[in-house]
A and B are shown apart, each in its own frame.
Chain A
Amino acid sequence: MRPALLRQVVLFLAVAVVFQLLAVAGGQVFLLTQLTMSLYYTLVVLGLSLLMGYAGQISLGQAGFFAVGGYTAAALCTWDLAARRSSEWVAAAERTGLLTARTDAFGALVLTVHPWPSLALAVLLSMALAVVVGIPVLKLKGNYLAMATLGVGTIVYSIPLGTARLGAADGISGVPPFPLLPGISVDGSPRSRIANYYVACVVLAVAMLLLLNLVHSRVGRALRAIHGAEDAATAMGIDTARFKVRTFVLGAALAALAGVLLTHFNGAIGPSEASVMKSVKYVAIVAVGGMGSLWGTLAASLVLNFLSLRGYFGTLDDAVFGAILIAVMLFAPEGILRIDLRRTLGLAARGPRAPAEPR
């Protein structure tokens, strides 16, 4: 592990601990709930940051991957197969632990898919979608890429909306807790609030570490090269199509993971998670945080998501993000937080900064 990067992540965790202690001390433990949600949303944003800030490709469909992850988990974990026990498949699945018998919110005995295989399937499905969509879509540039990703995102949005099985406009609720470790499960109950906060922190910290490593590596350089001068990158032997798709898939995986965990945390998911507006918000946050600065994006994401979830923006929530987008693009296209954060923290490994915008 690179010491400088590890230090950064440890510092992040330390700050997280401080926050938690302050919240408890100040009697504002409930803040941790929104913070936990913000932490998960940040996973989504980081994946997008890699794609936009480093590889220089825009995606207006990131929310779609979050939704694929979340809906898959929700659907599988609430799909009662108890009546089908007589089928061989179901019986075998139950024996091998793929299915779990539990009581649902109403006290009935149900047989549903165990959260762990459901998580695996959700993430894999999201990644598969990213491959299928990414290969043709990422051959496009600029406006075309934006519109294509917008289009895909809209299709993904319309699927749960138009499907009764997936809850249509009401979404899916009654999603059971996720048994992460003995004694720790991801759910929204007040007593596991603090534990869940730390679960989110650790998941995010691990993701940050992996992404920081990636960005400081040969792959990170290749992505920045693609962003900086795509033709030259190709001439240097970089298979740009493959790198773009892989980055897209990685982003989809992170978004799906966030989708699964957040759905278990909230106990529910609705079609709005796949909406275009959500995707746009993610783009806005990446723009604020500085395209190409992972820590900047993380900070921007935590702050903006938290404020939004706490309702600070009220009914003007969408308008605020729209205004942010415009303001950042007009006045600070390199991102507001980018420079400040590094200098203030003073321990930025003398590291890569992606170029601000594609040519």
Chain B
Amino acid sequence: MNLAFFIQYLVAGITYGTIYAVVGMGFNIIYNTTGIINFAQGEFVMLGGMVAVSLHHHLPLPAAIAGAVLVTMAVGALIELIFIHWLSRPTVLRMIIVTIGISILIREAALLTWGHDVRVLPYFTGNEISAISLGGARISPQAIWAVAVCAAMVLLTTAFFQWTMLGRQMRACASNRVGAAVCGLPIRNLVTLSFALSAGMGALAGCVVCPITYTQYGMGTGLAIKGFTVAILGGLGNSLGAVAAGLVLGVVESFSVSALPAAYKDTVSIAILLGILFVRPSGLFGGRAATRV
């Protein structure tokens, strides 16, 4: 493999990797505040792209994207308010099943609204053929957009959790729910916020990658599996770990295309997931025992 191919694969891997990282972070945010693994996480990415495409018919691109993010955040918040909140005794089994149900509903609603069509947003800058040359490889500017936007999201979110009052409150909620409640933190609202935040992040990632990967009603499930893989790989609850893990997964997956038939590309991430679950469920960077339920 020459340098050009190598860089091509690497860039593709990093591009997808940042998306996976964002989905993984979304998982972590919700998991951290509620202990729930939100199977519907992938649907937020799908919704972001889909809604943006629809809005773009009437609005300029930036506004469409902003709108899509807001709409998806609203959906995320609604999900929490309507479904999650009702669970009086949320056992793990029930949570899993409910979020699976939710992901199905969202997917079917998308199918009903937008049909089977594959949809695409225009490139933010340039078009399908514009490319930046790097070491012989041709890199789409959109890939750079994707990485930049996702990286910015990761940094902002990390800063948010580290330095803002609200962020700290959410972290408190995560490490000790009862204690947080006793301190008077508005747990309910924080939980809703965590859903909205995860949804928004996913949506933005969905928008920024849409020109490259397109968007279709069914893309959520695969992303959810990969996002979960990333979250576990990086240590459940560990957001920076998720970033590293996302990049690892993206790159490995990308290079696997050079070795395996393309049809098996998704299988790579699942194999990694299974491998991690069997061998080291606490992930590469996690510390806690992962039979933690």
Instruction: State the A residues within 8 Å of B (CB).
Output: 56, 58, 60, 136-137, 139-144, 146-148, 150-152, 154-155, 158, 161-162, 276-277, 280, 283-284, 287, 315-316, 318-319, 321-326, 328-330, 333, 357-359
Complex CA gap A276/B101 in Å reads 12
Who on chain A is nearest to B86 by CB?
A330
Which residues on the B side are within 8 Å of A322 (C-beta)? 100-105, 108
**B290 x A144 contact (CB < 8 A):** yes
Say whether, besides A148-B277, A162-B263, A323 and B270 are in contact (CB < 8 Å): no
List 24 A-B pairs, Cβ < 8 Å: A136-B277, A143-B92, A144-B232, A144-B291, A147-B277, A150-B225, A151-B225, A152-B270, A155-B270, A162-B263, A283-B97, A284-B101, A318-B107, A319-B104, A319-B108, A319-B112, A322-B102, A324-B101, A325-B98, A325-B104, A326-B98, A329-B101, A357-B94, A358-B93
Which residues on the A side are within 8 Å of B266 (C-beta)? 154, 158
**A140 x B228 contact (CB < 8 A):** no
Shortest Cβ distance from A354 into chain B, in angstroms? 12
Who on chain B is nearest to A60 by CB?
B100
Who on chain B is nearest to A280 by CB?
B100
Complex CA gap A137/B278 in Å reads 7
Secondary structure type dominating chain A contacts: helix
Contact mask for chain B residues 76-89; partner A; CB cutoff 8 A; 1 contact, 0 none: 00000001001100
**B274 x A152 contact (CB < 8 A):** yes
**A321 x B104 contact (CB < 8 A):** yes
B interface residues, tally (CB under 8 Å) = 40
**B97 x A141 contact (CB < 8 A):** no
Say whether, besides A319-B104, A330-B87, A358 and B270 are in contact (CB < 8 Å): no
**A329 x B94 contact (CB < 8 A):** yes
Which residues on the A side are within 8 Å of B86 (C-beta)? 330
Shortest Cβ distance from A319 into chain B, in angstroms? 4
Complex CA gap A352/B261 in Å reads 50
Instruction: State the B residues within 8 Å of A (CB).
Output: 37, 83, 86-87, 91-94, 96-98, 100-105, 107-109, 112, 221, 225, 228, 232, 261, 263-264, 266-267, 270-271, 273-274, 277-278, 281, 290-291, 293
Complex CA gap A178/B267 in Å reads 34
Say whether, besides A151-B273, A155-B267, A318-B108, A325 and B94 are in contact (CB < 8 Å): no
Say whether, besides A154-B225, A325-B104, A319 and B93 are in contact (CB < 8 Å): no
Who on chain A is nearest to B108 by CB?
A319
A137-B278, A144-B232, A358-B93 provided; 12 other pairs, C-beta below 8 A? A58-B97, A143-B37, A143-B92, A151-B225, A154-B266, A161-B263, A322-B102, A322-B103, A322-B105, A325-B97, A328-B97, A330-B98
Secondary structure type dominating chain B contacts: helix
Contacts across chains A and B counted by CB atoms under 8 Å: 122
**A147 x B267 contact (CB < 8 A):** no
Which residues on the A side are within 8 Å of B98 (C-beta)? 325-326, 329-330
**B291 x A141 contact (CB < 8 A):** yes
Which residues on the B side are within 8 Å of A324 (C-beta)? 101
Complex CA gap A151/B229 in Å reads 10
Who on chain A is nearest to B36 by CB?
A143
Which residues on the B side are within 8 Å of A151 (C-beta)? 225, 270, 273-274
Complex CA gap A239/B180 in Å reads 40
Say whether, besides A143-B37, A154-B225, A148 and B108 are in contact (CB < 8 Å): no
Complex CA gap A60/B104 in Å reads 14
Q: Tell which of A147, A315, A323 has the most Cβ of chain B within 10 Å.
A: A147
Complex CA gap A143/B96 in Å reads 7
Shortest Cβ distance from A225 into chain B, in angstroms? 17
**A325 x B291 contact (CB < 8 A):** no
Which residues on the B side are within 8 Å of A136 (C-beta)? 274, 277-278
Complex CA gap A287/B101 in Å reads 12
Shortest Cβ distance from B222 into chain A, in angstroms? 8
Complex CA gap A143/B41 in Å reads 14
Complex CA gap A333/B97 in Å reads 11
Q: Tell which of A58, A137, A321, A326 has the most Cβ of chain B within 10 Å.
A: A326
**B97 x A287 contact (CB < 8 A):** yes
**B225 x A358 contact (CB < 8 A):** no
**B277 x A323 contact (CB < 8 A):** no
**A162 x B108 contact (CB < 8 A):** no
**B267 x A158 contact (CB < 8 A):** yes
Which residues on the B side are within 8 Å of A276 (C-beta)? 221
Which residues on the A side are within 8 Å of B273 (C-beta)? 147-148, 151
Shortest Cβ distance from B108 into chain A, in angstroms? 4
Complex CA gap A308/B232 in Å reads 36
Say whether, besides A155-B267, A319-B109, A58 and B101 are in contact (CB < 8 Å): no
